[in-house]
Structure 1
Amino acid sequence: MRIVDVCAFYTPRGGGVRTYIDRKLQAAGRMGQELIALVPGESDSMVQVAPNAWIRSLATPTFPLDPRYRYFHSETQLHAALDELRPDFVECGTPWSSADMVANWRGDAPRALIMHLDVFATYPYRWLGKMMDQKSIDRGFDWFWRRLRRLGREYDFVVCANNELGTRTANGGVPNVVIEPMGVEPGVFGPDRRDMPFRAQVLASCGLPDTATLLVGVGRHSPEKRWPMIVDAVTAVGYDHDVGMVIIGEGRDTPRIRKSIAGNPHIRLLEPTRDRAAMARLLASADCMVHGSESESFGMVGAEARASGLPLIVPDRGGMTDQAAGGMGWSYKSGNGPALTSRLRKVLGRGLIAPTRARSELAAADVRTMDRHFEELFTRYESCFARRRAA
């Protein structure tokens, strides 16, 4: 079966979506599929990246709010590419304009909308959550709920990667919702990557002894990740506990994050790396992950942390809640800085990280892999394609 993934969020400098698509391209051929990622790029090109897997780029404009990204701007251009590629199944990875373009394509292939973005948690819930309850926000943004319901009727599947997003989307009246959790790259992350001398070096770079607690955060520097809130909370508990933190990422919010750190020597910003072994060592060598975004569609960095044996401190909404489930971490009221500070104080003050980390290390081998996700997803697609062809 030839699958074309129309992925507007793909960029070589991207984060979780790029990791997901790259792994899917590698896995497709082994699983008997032919996969083409159709992405916005600098120029038109078609590059084979694995057996039976290609990246097809369309020349597109730069996204004004983030120059790392480009966007599909022409429905005619996108439809011509789909006509050329002749897919048996089409995926679309965003509920924005490219979802309409894919829905309007006149080909007869079945299609799935992949919710790589939790629009409500990323924008209106975050912007208005301190002033209005969720039901009131939903009523005010009913125009977007109507859009999602229409897309749900036009697509064979609306694929959500976490339970909270899937349940909320279905309860909002969107049809054809399925929950298909993603996963981690197999064989990359694990507690055995823990490097105690390296951990001591990282803590020393934070001006702390190796007896201190090392926290880690991973994600792009954008407002929905709430890094200043995390920095403020870690700084506050640092008056009572030896605690350091490294934050791995980049983005347009970097100046704001640096300002919130304001010379605190115990918190460091690190550049992202594409060296997966180096990332696996860093995660396993930390003691706990702290995350601030309630808008994660899956929470891949959380899954990677869990596969590394780390406990997590996460918001009580969004994809990261699934990663901290089963006694592998703690939650706090999303978007609430004092609640995060209180949770950190309790966890550190009661010495909860070490025993929770021991349990997490034992459970790390059971973390779901991306290949398991792709096997289930492709099986779902094949069944839908077979039904469509028989009809």
Structure 2
Amino acid sequence: MRIVDVNELYSPTGGGVRTYIDRKMAILADMGHELIVIAPGREDAVEERPGGGRIHYVKAPGMPFDANYGLFWDAAPITDLLDRIDPDVVECCSPWRPAWIVGDWQGRAVKSYFMHNDNMAAYAQRWFEGVASHARIEQAFAWYTRYMGRFLDRYDTVVTNGPALEKRLRNRGLRIDVAMPLGIERRHFSPEFRDERLRTALLKQCDLPADGRLLLGLGRHHPEKRWPIVIDAVERAGAKLPVGLILIGTGNDSPRMAKRIAGSPHIRMFRPVYDRERLARIMASCDALIHGSEAEPFGLVASEAMASGLPLIVPDTGGCAEVAEPRASELYRARDAQAAATAIIRLFRRDPRMLRRAAITAAAGVRSDAEHAADLMAYYQGLVDAKRAQAA
């Protein structure tokens, strides 16, 4: 099959979406499929990928608040490319202008809207949570749900990247046809990469002895990640046991976070680690991953941590909760620093040998990105076959 992804969130300097698409492109090429991405760029350009697939950059204005990304507006350059490429399946994930451009395109392809995120949870509920309950906020922003419903009617299928997002959107009355949980590149992460000397060195940087407990916080420094809750929780738990936290990432909130932890004796912040092998060693050498965001649609970082043999301490709603293995995890009430602190203490008061054994068992069951791609292609093939039969 030939799949075209009209993706406003793809950028050479992007994050999770770029990683997902680049890896998906290589996997599909190995499976005999072709993935072509249409993405906004500063100039019109085509980037061929050596293993198969390509990126068509269409000149578009930049995003006002993030120079890494662009915004589509004109339909003609996109629909002209779709006409010329003539895909079997066309995907879209942006709820703004691209949703309508692809939805209204009159080609023969199966049109799939792929949900990667939840703007309601990531923005509206966070912005106004001190003013009203999440239920009231959802009522106030029901216009956005109705807006989404109007363009989703133009698609042959609506797919989410996991059960957390599926449940959340269906509860709002939106049509969801199938959940296709994402996966990770398994070969990069393993409990076998654990390095006790590295662990001891990281604990020393947190001013803790080798018998201390080392937590990992990994991800963008953005308000939706709720790092202040994580920091508060670690400081509270530190009154009961020797626990340190290393935060790896960067973002708009980095200066505020650095100021917040300036007086914390056992919390340290590091720049992102782009070397996958080094990152895998760091992950496997920590004692648990802690996460603060209940708005995560899938929980990719949590899956990578599990594949590294780490127990999880995560909110009780959202994508991280969905992938957490109960025997190697502790859930806490979302947005509650004291509940998170109690979860840290509960986890580290478990029998360490049993916890380690449970975490290693959980690592073996983490879903791979190749499994995700195979399931998605099988689903699309069924839709393509049905559409061709109907046309015949």
| TM-score, normalising length: structure 1 | 0.94
Q: Aligned partners of 2:387, 2:374: CA distance in 1, in Å?
A: 20
1:129 matched to which residue of 2? Answer: 129
Q: Aligned partners of 1:112, 1:343: CA distance in 2, in Å?
A: 39
Partner SS for 1:106: coil
Q: Aligned partners of 1:104, 1:269: CA distance in 2, in Å?
A: 46
Q: Aligned partners of 1:353, 1:64: CA distance in 2, in Å?
A: 48
User: CA shift at 1:354, angstroms?
Assistant: 5.4
Gaps of 5+ in 1: none
1:104 to 1:278, Cα distance in 2 relative to 1, 3 A: same
**Contact 1:4/1:87 (<8 A) preserved:** yes
Percent identity between matched residues is 40
Q: Aligned partners of 2:265, 2:71: CA distance in 1, in Å?
A: 39
2:254 matched to which residue of 1? Answer: 254
1:26 matched to 2:26? The reply is: yes
User: CA shift at 1:351, angstroms?
Assistant: 3.8
1:189 matched to which residue of 2? Answer: 189
**Aligned pairs, number:** 390
1:106 matched to 2:106? The reply is: yes
1:373 matched to 2:372? The reply is: yes
1:361 matched to 2:360? The reply is: yes
Matches within 5 A, 1:1-391: 1-348=1-348, 350-351=349-350, 355-391=354-390
User: CA shift at 1:335, angstroms?
Assistant: 1.6
**Contact 1:152/1:177 (<8 A) preserved:** no
**Contact 2:38/2:55 (<8 A) preserved:** yes
1:81 to 1:32, Cα distance in 2 relative to 1, 3 A: same
Q: Deviations over 1:239-289 (max 9, x none)?
A: 332211111111111111112112324222222233211111111111100
User: CA shift at 1:308, angstroms?
Assistant: 0.7
Deviates more, 1:338-347 or 1:106-115: 338-347
Partner SS for 2:145: helix
- The residue identity in structure 2 corresponding to 1:141 is F
Q: Deviations over 1:88-132 (max 9, x none)?
A: 211112223321221122323111111111122112222333443
1:145 to 1:371, Cα distance in 2 relative to 1, 3 A: same
User: CA shift at 1:16, angstroms?
Assistant: 2.0
Q: Aligned partners of 2:209, 2:58: CA distance in 1, in Å?
A: 51
Q: Aligned partners of 1:328, 1:2: CA distance in 2, in Å?
A: 40
**Contact 1:193/1:284 (<8 A) preserved:** yes
**Contact 2:246/2:267 (<8 A) preserved:** yes
| TM-score, normalising length: structure 2 | 0.94
Deviates more, 1:262-271 or 1:110-119: 262-271
**Contact 1:222/1:252 (<8 A) preserved:** yes
1:300 to 1:375, Cα distance in 2 relative to 1, 3 A: same
Gaps of 5+ in 2: none
Deviates more, 1:71-80 or 1:181-190: 71-80
Q: Aligned partners of 2:130, 2:333: CA distance in 1, in Å?
A: 12
Q: Aligned partners of 1:165, 1:384: CA distance in 2, in Å?
A: 22
